[in-house]
Amino acid sequence: MDLPRYFIVGNRPVKFVKTEDGGMSVQVFDWSNGNFVRNLHYLLEAIYSDETEEVTKEQFLSHVDSLRKSIS
């Protein structure tokens, strides 16, 4: 799988990123502070949910920026 990959699950930004050891981590947007935290639950959610849209890096960053502005 090519990484990184970017998703919007419902309204939550989720990204699949490569780890230093060559594996993969699933990082999800934390509503409380606007940072990303590891949450493997979203691996299947991002792939199989009807509420998921895979987006470009630019679309992803724009969405994250707008969410961060709304919580600050």
Whole-prediction pTM: 0.93
Number of H helices, E strands in the chain: 2, 5
* 5-39 confidence digits (pLDDT tens): 999 999 999 999 999 999 999 999 999 999 999 99
Structure token digits, residue 23: 């594996």
Domain that holds residue 27: 5-71
36 within 8 A of 27, measured Cβ to Cβ: yes
Q: Is the pLDDT of residue 72 over 80?
A: no
Query: With bands split at pLDDT 50, 70 and 90, how would you rate the model's confidence at 51?
Result: very high
Structure token digits, residue 27: 């990082």
Backbone φ/ψ region at 14: left (φ over 0), alpha (ψ -120 to 50), beta: beta
- Our count of domains for the chain comes to 1
Query: With bands split at pLDDT 50, 70 and 90, how would you rate the model's confidence at 63?
Result: very high
